[in-house]
Amino acid sequence: MANKSSRRDFVKRSAALVAGAIVLPQIIPSTALGMGRKIAPSDRIVIGSIGVGSQGMSNMRDFLKLKDAVQFVAVCDVDTHHLAKAKETVDMANNNKNCRTYSDYREFLEKEKLDAVSIALPDHWHGIIYSAAANKKLNIYGEKPICRTIKDGQTIVSAVKRNNIIWQTGSWQRSVANFHRGAELAINGRVGKVKYIEVGLPDGSKGIGTPPVQQVPSELNWEMWLGPALKVPYRGVSHWDWRWILDYSGGQLTDWAGHHIDIANWGAGLEHTGPVEISGAGVYPVEGIFNVPVEYDFLCKYGNGIEMRVANASRLPLGMGTTWHGDLGWVHVDRGDVISASDPKILNEVIGENEIHLYKSENHWQNFIDCVRSGKPAIAPVEVAYRAISVALLGEIAMTTGQTIKWDPDKEEIIGNPRASGLLSRPYRQPWTLPTI
């Protein structure tokens, strides 16, 4: 924790940085909250990144903007080009040449003494690396979806809880005003009792067919990129486009579950539970190496009677975003500050003092750093993220099997369907193993 600055300075600068924020950094000594690592309020949070591709770099830049609160010291990636670019970015921000680089996360975790780590990797790596970082008692800013399978998710949630670390999911929509407002209107009954929710996520797009096997570029450690996934020859698809291959991702559905399903759960009080019945259908490419569903449409029934339909946007009347339908009307939110309602009056409603006030953050990355400092939970905690992606992963299982899936959200088990239960995990290729819960 170098470059110490006074607490007063820190608060002043942070306030300027997040002008208008309602939640200013609440500086409580972390020891008071039983944190694993003690961080003095005046210290900068020492942080590094594992995975510095497009999303990892984007998160890193957002953290670098908080330079009075954060000190970036190390980066890790299996692509040396990514590493070089990330180091250059960090060094430029730090005005030195000191950013350390690693191509193996194990060495990174072993050698670096950090307060926090920002992780943005293909989904198939999440189970292992999130757990490993949690077990090192690092506070984690982790990209959504937090897991590729339910089993991975359970392992991650367990590791985060066991190690008592601060977790922030990259579900940044929570820190944007219109989503917060929509969720707060819904949860306070401004559309009446929420009975039905529609969640529109992006449509799938054109595939790339069956590209030829290629020489792995010298900058990429393909074996390490694949990690626990089944070995396949390199065909020019790794960064970014892993999203369209089922070994690594569930496509737009799982990529966006951590946004609009997460928001749906927030406004309906479903953050700590899951559906009891899931059924629906997907449209899969007829050929080509991209094999994630390009269309999907499934219905989740919850124990309290709420139903949630999740579909690609073109199948829904309001397209992208989350719509809570109650017996008095509806509220819809989407990116681009979109918030609309069945009756515009709903949007002018004031939430009373004794009503539910949802957690407020105006800068998702700042919120994480503040919470690392204060020991308070961040706005997008790990179990909430797990519940959001579970909806998509259970939908994926319903679509794959063609069956109605019965789910026990308390025991987190599929009921009476061994075939579907088999899809709750993806076995890891040796020597990789998922830590036991």
Partner 1 sequence: MKKQYLLLIVAAGLLTFFSACKNETVYKTLIITGQNNHNWKASSPVLKQILDETGLFSAVIMNTPDKGGNMKTFDPDFSKYKLVVVDYNGDSWSEKTNTAFVEFVKNGGGVVFYHAANNSFPAWKEYNEMTGLGGWGDRNQKDGPYVYYKNNKLVTDTSAGTGGSHGKRREYLVSTRIIDHPITRGLPVRWLHGTDELYSQLRGPAKNMQILATAFADSAAGGGTMRDEPMLMTITFGKGRIFHTAMGHADEGGGPAMQCVGFITTLQRGAEWAVTGDVTQKVPWDFPSAAGVVLRPDFKEMTLEEAFANISSYDITKSTKNLSCIQNKIHSLAGDEQGLLKLEKMMVKVLVAKETTVDAKKLLLRELSWMGSDYSVPAIKDLVSNAELKDEAEFALTRLKK
Residues that bind partner 1 (CB under 8 A): 203-207, 209-210, 212-213, 230-233, 283-291, 294-295, 312, 314-315, 400-403, 419, 422-423, 425-427, 429-430
Taking the least distance from each CB to partner 1, the nearer of 349 and 412 is 412
CA angle 278, 267, 346 (to 5 degrees): 125
Q: How far is the CB of 316 from partner 1 (least distance, A)?
A: 10
Please say which residue, 212 or 352, places its beta carbon nearer to partner 1.
Answer: 212
Helix (H) or strand (E) holding 325: strand 321-326
CB of 297 to partner 1, least distance (A): 9
To partner 1, the closest distance from the beta carbon of 296 in angstroms equals 11
Pair 310, 395: CB distance under 8 Å: yes
Compute the least distance from the CB of residue 276 to partner 1, in Å: 19
Q: Which is nearer to partner 1, 287 or 337 (CB)?
A: 287
Find the shortest distance in angstroms from Cβ 104 to partner 1. 21
The token pair that represents 164 in the structure block: 């008592």
| Shortest separation between residue 252's beta carbon and partner 1, angstroms | 11
Minimum distance from residue 51 beta carbon to partner 1 (Å)? 24
Residue listed under structure tokens 């002008």: 19
Work out how close the CB of 429 gets to partner 1 at its nearest, in angstroms, rounded to a whole number: 5
Is the Cβ of residue 354 or residue 430 nearer to partner 1 in the bound state? 430
Pairing of strands 307-312, 194-201: parallel
Strand partners, 277: 301, 406
Judged by beta carbon, residue 141 or residue 290, the one nearer partner 1 is: 290
Cα separation of 155 and 289, whole Å?
A: 29
- Give the three-class secondary structure for 331: strand
The half-sphere exposure of 403 on its side-chain side, counting CA atoms within 13 A, is: 14
C-alpha–C-alpha distance, residues 201 and 256, integer Å:
6
Q: Which is nearer to partner 1, 96 or 430 (CB)?
A: 430
Nearer to partner 1, 290 or 386 (CB): 290
Q: Which residue type occupies 333? A: V
- Shortest separation between residue 389's beta carbon and partner 1, angstroms: 19
Give 51 or 204: the residue with its C-beta nearer to partner 1. Answer: 204
CB nearer to partner 1: pick between 114 and 393: 393
CB 367 → partner 1: shortest distance, Å?
Answer: 36
17: number of Cβ within 10 Å: 16
Q: Which is nearer to partner 1, 247 or 307 (CB)?
A: 247
Which CB atom, from 380 or from 420, has the smaller least distance to partner 1? Answer: 420
**72 φψ region: left (φ > 0), alpha (ψ -120 to 50), beta (else):** beta
Strands of the sheet containing 329-334, edge to edge, are: 338-341, 329-334, 321-326, 194-201, 307-312, 295-301, 277-283, 405-408, 413-414
| Distance (Å, whole) CA 271 – CA 353 | 23
CB of 386 to partner 1, least distance (A): 21
